[in-house]
């Protein structure tokens, strides 16, 4: 059912039901495909699901899905940021954290050593596509929104302006 991917030695197990609130991820906001849900859980929550459906937490995961070290259950434990950084450089010629914005050159070995450095880069170099147009409002630059509907909701609730 679920492939075994990465299991830290001191992993805690939980059931899938306790991880995901089923009411929150249904309907329009839900995941249409199970592999998208697994990808979200792995990348956003840093949690892996093995073949039995048990869930394992690890903050250090290789993001290359076809990586042998990533796929093998006990071949390599990425127990620290140093382990992950070294693994990414030696196995993939890449930094542990890289920018996924289109046309940004901070990928591969030009990426970042920490998630914080990547987040700082995104805030500085890639402003949100939807920003508040009301004079004096601070929801501009990286404080904007990724979705237009969130910007419109803000404009109506905070400034009484509907588009």
The answer to whether 122 and 99 have CB atoms below 8 angstroms apart is yes
* pLDDT the model gives residue 90: 82
Q: Which residue has the tokens 């995941």?
A: 31
* pLDDT the model gives residue 146: 81
Span 59-111, pLDDT tens digits? 666 767 667 655 444 345 566 777 777 888 888 888 878 888 888 998 888 88
* pLDDT the model gives residue 73: 42
* pTM flag (> 0.85): no
The answer to whether 40 and 31 have CB atoms below 8 angstroms apart is yes
Q: Which residue has the tokens 């937490």?
A: 57
* pLDDT the model gives residue 52: 55
Determine which helix (DSSP H) or strand (DSSP E) holds 9, and give its type and residue range.
Answer: none
Q: In this predicted model, which residue has the larger pLDDT, 78 or 124?
A: 124
- CA dihedral of residues 104, 107, 109, 113 (deg, nearest 10): 100
Span 3-56, pLDDT tens digits? 333 333 334 444 444 455 555 566 677 777 777 777 777 677 666 665 555 555
Domain ranges, ordered by start, for the chain: 1-92
* pLDDT the model gives residue 19: 53
Q: In this predicted model, which residue has the larger pLDDT, 7 or 155?
A: 155
* pLDDT the model gives residue 10: 39
* pLDDT the model gives residue 9: 34
The residue among 18, 13, 44 whose CA lies nearest residue 31 is 44
* pLDDT the model gives residue 49: 62
Span 126-150, pLDDT tens digits? 888 889 999 999 988 878 888 899 9
């Amino acid at each position: 059912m679920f492939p075994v991917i990465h299991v830290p030695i001191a992993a805690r197990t939980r059931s899938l039901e306790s991880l995901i609130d089923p009411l929150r991820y249904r309907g329009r906001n839900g995941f249409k495909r199970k592999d998208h849900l697994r990808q979200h859980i792995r990348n956003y929550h840093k949690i892996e699901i093995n073949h039995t459906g048990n869930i394992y937490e690890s903050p250090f995961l290789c993001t290359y899905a076809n990586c042998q070290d990533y796929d093998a259950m006990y071949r390599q434990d990425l127990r620290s940021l140093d382990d992950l950084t070294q693994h990414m450089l030696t196995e993939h010629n890449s930094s542990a954290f890289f920018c996924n914005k289109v046309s940004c050159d901070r990928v591969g070995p030009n990426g970042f050593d920490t998630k914080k450095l990547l987040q700082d880069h995104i805030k500085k170099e890639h402003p949100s596509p939807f920003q508040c147009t009301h004079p004096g409002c601070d929801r501009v630059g990286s404080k904007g929104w990724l979705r237009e509907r969130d910007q419109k909701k803000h404009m109506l609730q905070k400034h009484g302006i509907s588009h």
